Amino acid sequence: MTFVDGPVRVRVPATSANLGPGFDTLGLALDLHDRLEAEVLAEGLRVEVSGYGEGAVPLDERHLVVRAMRATFDRLGKQPTGLRLSCTNVIPHARGLGSSSAAIVAGVWLARELVAGGRLLLDDAALLDLAAQLEGHPDNVAPALLGGFVISGQDGDGTFWAVRGSVDPRVGAVVFVPTTPVATKAARGLLPAAVPHGDAAANAGRAALLVAALSGHPEELMRATEDRLHQEYRRPAMPESLALVEALRRDGVPAVISGAGPTVLAFTDGPGSSGAEDLVARCPAGWGVHALTVDGTGAAPDDGAA
């Protein structure tokens, strides 16, 4: 096995999981991208980070992208003698927009591209399996890798799977990003061990409707984004986010908690539309806001274009 000369570059999208009723199984890629570059060196490890995480994340073997790269090199059968990694991060950390999944997908993708013939040795299905193993679940890594709207899960034998669904071109999103993070582990810790059968049944129906709504019936998004499994239980960790979701929904806007929160995602017609502009204007003071389209590509070579 040999390594390629020169750097390889990748852009990986932010993702929103759950989308209301699709707990741990539905995810959507959004056009907000981290950009990374890596190359093999003769020796040592050099890690550079700008944007989110700068001055906060470790710049050694503990860095999540490096750990994902090492796991991929192990799977491929050979570690390089040295590595350089440069990360330009725009996906907010610990906000429910898939920053850790983007890091993992970037790492496995870069490592595969640094190996001559890497795509023959590790296809996309194997790359998804490895990324999901590293993350622990596939709902964010699947759309980060594949792009678009993805239904994913894990079989009883441990096999991870992912199927892309279609997205109506009229569907866009506005995300409202609070200043205070919420750790995924903390958000999950608020969930009960069991839920009422009626709530589970209601969510199953809404999740099925959501697949149809996103693919061609966006007028059903309000009903399709109702949730009874996880959002309300997480209120103690993100009361302001739940209050915004409720306010938007009272006004007929299909709004949900993005992933484990605390970011709020509201479906709309896309950037530049009057609906998106109206939503951006409702951003709480001090929060960040982005009007986004759906990213249909997923992890891909970075040509430097915006």
Residue 205: the pLDDT is: 97
**Is the confidence at residue 280, as pLDDT, over 80?**
yes
**Is the confidence at residue 306, as pLDDT, over 70?**
no
Q: How does the average pLDDT of the chain come out, rounded?
A: 95
Binding residues for ATP: 92-102
The residue-averaged pLDDT of 285-306 equals 90
- What string of DSSP letters covers 181-209? ---HHHHHHTS-S---HHHHHHHHHHHHH
Residue 264: the pLDDT is: 98
- What string of DSSP letters covers 126-187? HHHHHHHHHHSSSTTHHHHHH-SEEEEEE-TTS-EEEEEEP--TT-EEEEEE-SS---HHHH
The residue-averaged pLDDT of 251-271 equals 94
Binding residues: 92-102
The residue-averaged pLDDT of 6-13 equals 96
**Is the confidence at residue 29, as pLDDT, over 80?**
yes
Length of the chain: 306
Nearest one of 306, 304, 302, 299 to 13, comparing CA atoms: 299
Label residues 3-27 b or e (16+ Cβ within 10 Å = b).
eeeebbbbbbbbbbbbbbbbbbbbb
C-alpha atoms less than 13 angstroms from C-alpha of 41 in its C-beta half-sphere: 11
What's at 193, amino acid-wise? A
* pLDDT tens-digit series, residues 50-76: 999 999 999 999 999 999 999 999 999
Residue 124: the pLDDT is: 92
Architecture of domain 8-165: 2-Layer Sandwich (3.30)
Q: If you search the block for the tokens 């591209």, which residue do you land on?
A: 113
**Is the confidence at residue 305, as pLDDT, over 80?**
no
Q: How far apart are CA 172 and CA 290, in angstroms?
A: 11
The residue-averaged pLDDT of 171-193 equals 92
User: Which pTM value belongs to this model?
Assistant: 0.95
* pLDDT tens-digit series, residues 119-177: 999 999 999 999 999 999 999 999 999 999 999 999 999 999 999 999 999 999 999 99
The fraction of the chain above a pLDDT of 70, given in percent, is 99
To which CATH superfamily is domain 172-292 assigned? GHMP kinase, C-terminal domain (3.30.70.890)
The residue-averaged pLDDT of 14-34 equals 97
**Is the confidence at residue 104, as pLDDT, over 60?**
yes
* pLDDT tens-digit series, residues 225-241: 999 999 999 999 999 99
Q: What are the boundaries of each domain within the chain?
A: 8-165, 172-292
What's the gap between Cα 136 and its chain centre?
13
Q: How far apart are CA 271 and CA 172, in angstroms?
A: 7
Position 288 confidence tier, pLDDT thresholds 50, 70, 90: very high
Q: Could you give the angle at the alpha carbon of 28 between the alpha carbons of 22 and 34, nearest 5°?
A: 135
The residue-averaged pLDDT of 7-36 equals 97
Residue 184: the pLDDT is: 84
Handedness of CA 238, 153, 298, 55 (dihedral sign): positive
Residue 270: the pLDDT is: 73
Question: Is there a cis peptide before residue 262, judged by omega within 30 degrees of 0?
Answer: yes
